[in-house]
Structure 1
Amino acid sequence: MKATCSIRILSMSLNIHTSTRINNWSFNRFYHKVFPLGLASRFIIMLSLVILSSQIITSAVWYSNIYLKEKEGLEVALENIASMAAYTVSYYQKLPKASRHLVLEQNRSMGGTRFFISLNSKSIPISGLPETELKQALTTKITHNLIDFLDEKIDINVDFTRRDQLRAYDAEVPLDDIPRAFARYTIEKAKHDPPVLVMQFRLPTEKQSNVDTHEQWLYLATNLPAPYIDLEIQFLDSRQFNFILLTSISILLCTWFLVRHEIRPINKLAQAAKMMGNKMDAHIIKEEGSGELVAAVHAFNTMNRSIRAYIRDRDLLFGTISHDLKTPIACLKLRIEMLENEAEKEKFKRSLNELEFMVEGALHYIKNTDIKEQLVQVDIEVILKELSQIYNADKPRVFLHGILNAPLLGKPVAFKRMLNNLMENAVKYGNSVDISLSDHNDQVTIQFRDYGKGIPDELREKVFEPYFRVAHEKQEGTGLGLSIVRNIVLSHHGKLILKNHQDGGLIVVLSLPRED
């Protein structure tokens, strides 16, 4: 029972681990497919994030400091306004009710005060500004200041509004509808339309025959003084935002051109490395750029020269071997013909034939794995149809399934030799072969399924070694076919997988990427 539970727990752990790896792989593939960004683009994005983060941090610090200073300055300004308003209220409180309108007219004719003043029989409703934390704090602050300055209990209404929402007198007349004769006593229009502070005070009334007369409210209104043109301090105003935007764009553009200039040697290095992988022949790159790039390009150029020298020496060596070995082998064959013992003659002939076969096989291997040709668009489907006609001359042995949507970039002669070797092996060892084609956005998959004996699991990698033959295979051949195939596949950055079919036979899966 414990063993069964342990096995289940282990199985669940493996499934979770496998699913996690699959999800990570799927996410990475999706990310690189959706965001195929180069070095310059990634650098610009990272720099943009750095600039954005620094601007947000510095703006937040600036905003906190400015906010405190602006709030403190606004509180001081409102305290001064409250002091003047309290003096005005005290003055009107001491006047008899009947004389207050006369004094108000006198004040107007003499130039008035900084306040728009009116005497009303009721508290005028105010269409206040939206309730914010700062507005509430300032309203509470100025109310307390007024109470402290007046030093007595009095009904006070304090609010903030806009000039176009301001109403005056008992009839609640809009400020702009007041006659022009009162224009100089009204609140002046300001450029930025600052908030208007409205203070209403309930004045004491006289008593006649123990009956209160109608109540009277003193109405005071004034603009907030410059530079306090708003109750809320913006995190970034339009000028600051435009300045930050212009600065960031300028930095990013300059950085973009600099990075593009610096990564030009990297692009050349990538192209040369690709040519080296495809044709084993890349030009020498100019050593320029930063110190690290110069060192990398210099190392690549050194490697390129070494590989060129190696290939040149190898071709010269095998050419010399092929030339030098043919002459002594031919001389030995002539000497064998002069032997009188037929049995010995046959033994020597067999040994020389094996030697000649091995030399030709080695030269053939070198020739087929070192194909120097240009990359072109190759129609693999056409090549497979041509080869299948050769093997189907006597009877049907090769069966094609599926189609390819577009040609594939590669070496045509190398592709033909690769596909011919795979088809030849499948027909030779499996009598017939089913070839399935499947085309994807990023790669082409070709599957060869024969009906032979297959390959033992422990020998799947060894069959790619030169001259290796499976024990039960007695057909003629050099044992170099799969070695040649794998070298060609790797030179095209592809994959080659061998696996046995559950019903018998071998499956060869060939995957070739679509490259630009």
Structure 2
Amino acid sequence: MLTIYRSMHGRLFLILLTGMIVTAAGTVLLTHSRQQEMFDRVRAQHLATEIAELVESLERIPLPQRDDYLHEPRGMGIRGHLDNDVLPPVTARDALLEDALHQRLDGVDIEAELPNDAACAGEPIRWPRRMHEPPQCERVHIVLQDGSRFSLMMPMPPMRGQVYPPPVWSAMLLFALCIGLLAWLVARIATRPLRQLADAADNLDISRVGKPLPEQGSNEVRVATRAFNRMQRRIYDDVRERTGMLAAITHDLQTPLTRLRLRLEKLPDEALRNKLVGDMQSMQQMLQEGLELARSLDTSEATQLLDLDSLLDSLCSDAVEAGQQVDYIEHTAVQLKAHPLALRRALSNLLDNAVKYGQRAEVSLSRDARQCHIRIRDFGPGIPPELLETVFTPFYRIEHSRSRVSGGTGLGLSIARNIVQRHNGELVLTNHPSGGLEASVVLPLSA
């Protein structure tokens, strides 16, 4: 239940379902009360008709014969007798019956008592054996215009059967199930645009213009969709402008640096010449990796179905042929859509870092139903835990492990993460419990 409530779909479903059930229950209760009220009104009208006819007949009969007339049984079990003594006041009066009698009889004083057990005392009442309890009785005290008084007694059997028989409960259960289905459909329709926005945000690729979401649905959904489409376009334009400027700068600097290096070759001082040429080579390497960084953010390379196992095997074989200690320890058949050259560049950077700073590397590939996992572990000193995220910052280098002499510029990990994120994946670094650093790449199989 708690899991359902945490989602927007579940919350809307529970709110709608609760509201509909409460409304339906209130409607049933109101209908029942109205039915009971209607039953009481109909009963009062029938009794009033019978009593009015009796009173009209009684007024035409001489006074000595009235008591015998009242003792005769009549419709609805009405029996009566003359009252010569003053009657005690009625505590619980039947207003419906009194109103109905006043509408039919003029100049007559009437007091109707609500049905109760005490009203049946002393009266010879019989009831069917199928009734498990005796009926209640209702008394009506009437004073005619000539001052004569008499009382009428009517048995009131209880209502037969249950208030709501089983078929009614079955219908109510079916009605509740229909309400639940309707609430679920309404909640699903209401939250579908949110799911579409979330999926579009997850699949947002800053390297190319995404397909705009269709602006449909309610006004609020249309406004949110329109804002998302504008945001997607602005992000792409900003990234393209930034990467284009970076690529242009790094490319344009290559020509003057090449001319400068040619002139440095003519210096007569060999020691000075070698030092300056080394600095020049470092600058050219930084510019080249800067260009690679720009390409990692924006590329027009088309996606292709890639055999990831073959790619990793090829990278590991090339490293072994180059004299590096690389072991591909776990193979798994994995195929996914990717940018082959870009993904090869990212994995090559991670493998080069592992060999360069850890002397030896182990590579493994595994998968589950939705993702594949690439792990590249080295056997070096690792990285302080507080720097595991900082090392992805462009041009950041850990001084004790990376230097100009080793060739590190601080862009390899940045390039690798940009490429992995462009594939809707994730790249994280962790210190292995047995020592060394482990780079974990997670890629969705449906990318």
TM-score range, shorter chain: 0.5 to 0.7
Kindly report the root-mean-square deviation, in angstroms, between the aligned alpha carbons of the 2 structures: 5.1
How big is the shift at 1:362? 0.7
Q: Is 1:63 the equivalent of 2:2?
A: no
In 2, Cα distance between equivalents of 1:376 and 1:48: 47
**Aligned counterpart, 1:127:** none
Q: Pairwise mapping of residues 107-506 of structure 1 onto structure 2 (< 5 A)?
A: 146-150=120-124, 158-160=128-130, 230-234=160-164, 238=168, 241=171, 245=175, 252=182, 256=185, 260=189, 269-270=197-198, 272-277=200-205, 279-373=207-301, 378-393=306-321, 397-404=325-332, 407-408=335-336, 410-470=338-398, 471-473=400-402, 475-506=406-437
In the comparison of the two structures, how many residue pairs are matched?
Answer: 374
- Structure 1 letter corresponding to 2:277: K
8 Å Cα contact 1:399-1:433 kept in structure 2: yes
Contact 1:275 1:281 in 2 (8 A): no
Q: Is the 8 A contact 2:378 2:437 kept in 1?
A: yes
Q: TM-score under structure 2 normalisation?
A: 0.64
- 2:22 and 2:231 map into 1 onto residues whose CA distance is 43
Residues 313-351 of structure 1: CA distance to partner in whole angstroms, max 9, x if unpaired?
234423432443223223323333444444443343233
- Could you say if the C-alpha distance between residues 405 and 361 of structure 1 is closer, same or farther in structure 2, counting changes exceeding 3 Å? closer
* Structure 2 residue aligned with 1:133: none
Contact 2:374-2:441 within 8 A present in 1 as well: yes
Moved more, 392-401 or 317-326: 392-401
Q: What residue identity is the alignment partner of 1:232? A: Q
Report the counterpart of residue 50 of structure 1 in structure 2: 19
Q: Aligned equivalents of 2:165 and 2:427: distance in 1?
A: 61
Residue 55 (structure 1) shift: 0.7
The equivalent of 1:175 in structure 2 is none
C-alpha distance in structure 2 between counterparts of 1:443 and 1:267, whole Å: 21
Per-residue CA shift, 1:461-487, capped at 9, x if unaligned?
A: 332222333323453343322112222
Which consecutive unaligned segments of at least 5 residues does structure 1 have? Answer: 1-26, 93-111, 116-140, 162-195, 200-223
Cα displacement (A) at 1:401: 4.1
Taking every aligned residue pair, what percent have the same amino acid on both sides?
28
Q: Judge conservation of contact 1:454–1:506 (CA < 8 Å) in 2.
A: yes
1:391-433 alpha-carbon deviations (Å, 9 max, x no partner): 2336783334445475455544443333222222222222322
User: Secondary structure of 1:509's match?
Assistant: strand
The residue identity in structure 1 corresponding to 2:345 is R
Greater shift, 242-251 or 333-342, is seen at: 242-251
1:114–1:326: structure 2 CA closer, same or farther, 3 Å change rule? closer
Residue of structure 2 equivalent to 1:208: none
Secondary structure of the equivalent of 1:309? helix
Q: Which runs of 5+ in 2 are unaligned?
A: 55-67, 78-114, 136-155
